[in-house]
Each structure stands twice: as C-alpha cells, then as structure tokens.
Chains A and B, each alone.
Chain A
Amino acid sequence: MNIIELTNIEKTYDMGGAEQVQALQGISLTLTKNEYVAIMGPSGSGKSTLMNIIGCLDTPTKGSYLFNGLSVSDMNDNELAKIRNKEIGFVFQTFNLLPRSDALHNVELPLIYGGIPSGERKRRAMETLENVQLGDRVHHKPNELSGGQRQRVAVARALVTKPSIILADEPTGNLDSKTGEEIMALFEDLHRQGNTIILVTHEADIAEHAHRVIRLRDGKVESDAPMVKRKKAGAPATA
C-alpha cells in the first residue's frame, strides 16, 4: 500500500498584489512502506515546499495528497496537527530541540501532545533514547550535548511515536562530516528496522545513502530513479 500518493500537486504563493510565485508545478509521486527516498534539488527548486506539504505543515494549492489513503488536502488545522503528531517524524537541519527542556522531555513531547499517560510516556521515551545510544544523557539539556547527540535526540523525538514516515530535512547540514556519517548510519539502521525515510538534501554523498532519488528543478520532478551507487564516496557532487 502507498503511504504517500501525490497527484499534480501545485503550490502558489501570493507575494502581495497580483504577483504570484509558483513553487510547485504539478508534482506527482508515490511512496510505499519501507522506502528510503532522497529528495534533491538546488535551492529554489521547491524541495522545501514539497517537504512542508509532505510533512503536513502546509497544504497544496491544487492537487490531491493521500496519506495512508486519507486526503490531506481537505484536512483542517487540528487534523493536520494530529497527522503530524502520529504519522510523521521530523528531523531538522537545526535540530529544533526545546532549549530549556532536557533530552527526555524533548522526546516525550510528541507523546504529551498525543495524550499518552505519563508512565508509558517516560518508558517509551527512555527506550527510544537508548535506541539512539543516549541512555546515559537523558537529563542533559541541548546545550550540554554535542551536535551529533542533539541530532540523535531529535531522531529519537521523531521515532518515539512510531510514525509512518521519517522526514529529515538536511539532517547533516549542521554537523561535521564524521558526525554526519554517524547520523546517516543511524538512518540506515532505522531503514533496516522497517522505517520509511524521506531525506531532503542538496548533498549528493548524503543522498547516496537513499535507495531512490527524486530530483526537483523549478517546481517539477526532473528525475525519479533508484540510486545508482558510485564505487567510492568523496567524488564531487554532480547535482
């Protein structure tokens, strides 16, 4: 079954007055369970807009978006919030952790919004943090953690609700290449465990971890193909 089914998605922004910017111009694509997809494209290609729509942070101007068979285009704010809470795990470039809360509370947060009682919440958050090797850092606040650790807290927060997809937006953008590789290895693990992952990036060697690459240009799908592995990482990116 398709988790995500986009058909002729368009997104137009009003820039004030009669001026309009068409960020997405008819995007169609489908994603099935346990896929590992990279969305690539230069800046201005519409990949952020597409990610926001896939992540239910935004709704398309035109076109249909079915998430697990449900039409997202028709949903109201509350329903979108519910989908984001239960079905989507976000991992951001800038981690986006709550600075005043410790790792445990950050991971608990989606469960709080999901109405999970305290006991179960703590247990699941602990479990997930242990899964990302942060069992000994649960009471550290973000500023007491390294960049890689912060991103792992963010991954734990994305995973804790057992979402249908994990949506990672440039997850290694703020990390050095060594920690970046660690995070990518973590994603590989998650994929092997059966998770569906969408990776938004403009770095070819990061995208290489995915098994399918969708390239965007000027708000359209330029190409959509299985990843062809290069022999060796490190060659300059072509996209």
Chain B
Amino acid sequence: MYFLLELKEGLAISFKAIRANKMRSVLTMLGIVIGIVSVTVMATAIEGINRAFEESAAAFGPNVMYVQRFQWASNEDWETIRNRKPLEAYYVDRIQRRATLLNAVAPVVFTGRRVAYGTKSVENAIISGTTDQYIYASGTLLKDGRFFTAEESAGGRLVCVIGGTIVENLFPAEDPVGKTIRVAGHPFTVVGTMEKQGGLFGEFTSDLRIHIPIDAFDTRFGDRHDVMIQVGVADKQKMEDAAIELEGIMRNIRHIAPGKPNDFGINQQEILMQVFGPISLVIASIGLFITGLSLFVGGIGIMNIMFVSVTERTREIGIRKAIGAKRRTILIQFLTEAAALCLLGGLIGLAIAFPLSLIVDQFLPTAMPLSVVFIAILISLTVGLISGFLPAYRAARMDPVEALRHE
C-alpha cells in the first residue's frame, strides 16, 4: 500500500520532470527508441526466417518418410554411400505386405529432361517415375484433374501429372489438363496438376516435377536408376513407431545381420528441422546480440542523463529528505523516472517497428509476434531500472544537510 503510494508519487514526479525537460527527454529516449526498433524488427525477421523454413520443410509432408541409400544430414562419407546396393522397386510390395502402420508406399525414380509444349519449354524438368500410390505418400496436393490411376500406372501409359512451375511455364494462359506435352521428345498427356508449393524446397519436391508411371519411365528413360521409396504413414502421431517398423522391414529385405549398421536411411522432414534448429539459434543469437548493443548504448544514455538529473535536483532531494522522504522513497522516485523514460521510448519504438515489420512481411512470412511486443516492453523497463539504479542510488544516499546547502 505504502509502496504503491510512493510509486504513484514517483510517477507524477517523473512526468513533471520529463515534461520540464522535453528536448532532453526526447533525445535521451531516442537511444531506447532505436534500440527497441532494431531489436523488434530483428526478432520479427528471425521469426520470418524460421517460419519460411518450417513452411518449406512442410513440403516434404509431415507424415511422409523417404527411404534412401543415405541418411539426411548425417556424416556418412560419400564413398560408403556410393558402394551401397541401390534400393529396388520390388521392395515396395514387400514393405506393403508386412507393414501395419503405413497407408501408402510408392517407388520414385528421377531423371532430368527437357519438356516442351508448342513453342514453350522447360530445360531442366525433374521427371519422376512412380505409381498411383504416390499421391498418398507425399507432402504434395493435387490442384486440377486427377493423379494417374492404378491401371494407367500398371500399364505404363503415357500420362503425366505436372508441378506448379511447369504449369506456369508451359501453360501460362491455358488449362493444361488434356493437353499433350513432350518429355524429351515422348508425348505424354497431362491428366492433372499439382498445387504450387514454393518455399526453399518446393521446386525439388513438386513444382518442377513431371510425374509419370514408373513403367513408362523405365521403357523411355532406362531402368538402371536408384529407387527412392516414399512411405505415407496413416497416423501422424505414430511416425516414430512407423519408422521403427519400416527400419526392421528394410533390414530384413536387405539381409543386414543384427548388430551391423543400416545401409540405407529413413528420412523425414523432422530431420531438416533438427538441422535447422541450431542454425536458426545461431542466427538469432548473433542478430539479437548486435541489435541488443544499440539498446545497451541507449541504456547508457539514460544513465548519463539520470546522473545529470540527480545532480541538478540535489537541492530538491535535500528538501524531500528534510520533510521525511526515506532513502527508499528517493530511490523509487528516480528509478521510476528512468523506467518511465525507457518505457515511453520502448512504446514509441514499438509504434515505429510495427509498420517496419509489415515491410519485412513482404519478403518473409512473418508478423510481429505478440510475445515480441511484451518482451520489448519488458526489456525497456529492465533497461530503465538497470541504468537508473546507480544514479538513483546516489540520490538516495545523499546527505540531507549537504543537499540542502547545494545551490
């Protein structure tokens, strides 16, 4: 109760003092304003980078596992990986027969080829040979038309489903469904298109792809390719169990003796997140450290001006002490003043940072997180209390007799 009274009086005095020295207060606050603006904009940008990565990684599908010869982000050397037996398309049937937690398994083989429609073409399209199951075993969605059917897949028909970038390049103004494109000279009829994914990995996972039946792939583009097996897990919550089950099946298929290491990798988007996590942390730490420096400089400015303020008001401090202000009262008064200056600076900083964050939003998928707003307010308060402490402590300890004698 008494503390609140002191705080209220402290606030009233602060605003009087800030008003009485408008120019000085504004200049001092400027340091905090700049500090808060840079910290919040940086935090917003970092949030944007994280979100951009998360959204990009989502292209791999949260419930999809990729069986390959190597493990993502591992330090297995290239020599070892190259000498491993390739994965075979027949694994798909064996996996399907034995797995209980998977709802779709699809082989995928790749090659890069030129595709063309009329006068338009894409040089480096990714031709992926797969089965009708692919659409259930990937992180991508169909946009128009349909995916190819089991019959088309089994029969190796010349049909294809094309990614977003291919659509944009070959069919800027037409509906691609039903048209026939040429893939390295072979005619394929478009039966469907995929949703454009964008992001960091979108071109690779979907946008630049042309999905065709794997048998058509083998006959047109050769069958000596390393096969990747994509697996869709029925229940996203059971990803770990499914990975363990799949590992067992794969070890069995590839006859790996107990105790020997895997000669294949079971990959999922989670791995990318695990790799990115520490990188993002480093970016965030460096970014916030550098911008934090400007806040530190702002804090020094506050401390400096508070020392000036205390010296100027020595007599006032003496008067207050003579009529009964305790040390604590004086301490609170000056701390409140420093905190009020910083808080005001922080709020102004936020008001400037908010429109800036909207500009950042043009480049990165972000918005100033509410947490950043609260943290910014908290930080400016803390800076005020820390930088105000020494001057306030000096004021509180003044000898009333000396202070009253001060001119």
Residues in A neighbouring B323, C-beta threshold 8 A: 84-85, 90, 109-110, 113, 157
In the complex, what distance in Å separates the CA atom of A85 from the CA atom of B399?
Answer: 16
- Which of B316, B324, B399, B400 is within 8 Å of A82, CB to CB? B324
Question: Within the assembled complex, what's the spacing in Å between the Cα atoms of A150 and B17?
Answer: 21
Please judge, given known A-B contacts A84-B324, A110-B323, A113-B325, whether A52 and B2 are in contact too, CB under 8 Å. no
A112 B5 Cβ-Cβ under 8 A: yes
User: Are B324 and A86 closer than 8 Å at their CB atoms?
Assistant: yes
Q: How far is the CA of A90 from the CA of B400 in the complex (A)?
A: 13
* Chain B contacts for A100, CB-based, 8 A: 16-17, 20
Contact check: which of A55, A78, A90 meets B327 at CB < 8 Å?
Answer: A78
Task: Return chain B residues, CB-CB under 8 Å to A90.
Answer: 322-323
Q: How many residues of A contact B (CB 8 A)?
A: 26
Is B319 at the interface (CB under 8 A from chain A)? yes
Describe B's contact surface by its main secondary structure.
helix
Does A77 make an interface contact (CB < 8 A)?
Answer: yes
Q: How far is the CB of B271 from chain A (nearest CB, A)?
A: 63
Give which listed residue, B17, B316, B326, contacts A113 with CB less than 8 A. Answer: B326
Residue B284 interfacial (CB < 8 Å): no
Q: What separation, in Å, do the CA atoms of A109 and B320 have in the docked complex? A: 8
Residue on A nearest B403 in the bound complex, by CB: A57
Check if B275 is an interface residue, CB within 8 A of chain A. Answer: no
Neighbouring A residues of B321 by C-beta, 8 Å: 57, 81, 84
Q: Which residue of B lies closest to A158 (CB)?
A: B323
Q: In whole angstroms, what is the CA distance A42 to B68 when docked?
A: 102
Which of the four size classes fits the interface of chain B? 20 to 34
Q: Are A114 and B324 in contact (CB under 8 A)?
A: yes
Contact B327 A98 (CB under 8 A): no
B326 in contact with A78 (CB, 8 Å): yes
Flag if A96 contacts B324 (CB, 8 Å). no
Closest to A84 in B: B324
Contacting pair B326 A81 (CB below 8 A): yes
B324 touches A115 (CB 8 A): no
How does the 8 Å CB contact mask read for B392-407 relative to A, with 1 for contact and 0 for none?
Answer: 0000000111001000
CB contacts (< 8 Å) of B319 on chain A: these are 96-98
- By the criterion CB–CB under 8 Å, are B325 and A96 in contact? no
Q: Cβ of B241 < 8 Å from any Cβ of A?
A: no
Per-position 1/0 for A86-116, Cβ under 8 A of B:
1000101000111011000000011011110
Shortest CB-to-CB span from A173 to chain B, Å, is 14
- A58 CB–B CB distance under 8 Å: yes
Query: Does B329 make an interface contact (CB < 8 A)?
Result: yes
**Chain A residues whose C-beta falls within 8 Å of the C-beta of B328 in the assembled complex:** 78
Cα(A82)–Cα(B325), bound, Å: 8
B316 and A81 form a contact (CB under 8 A): no
Bound: A78/B400 CA distance, A: 13
Residues of chain B in range 359-407 having any CB-CB distance to chain A below 8 Å: 399-401, 404
Kindly provide the distance from the CB of A165 to the nearest chain B CB, expressed in whole angstroms: 14
Please list the residues of chain B having a beta carbon within 8 angstroms of any beta carbon in chain A. 1-2, 5, 9, 16-17, 20, 315-316, 318-329, 399-401, 404
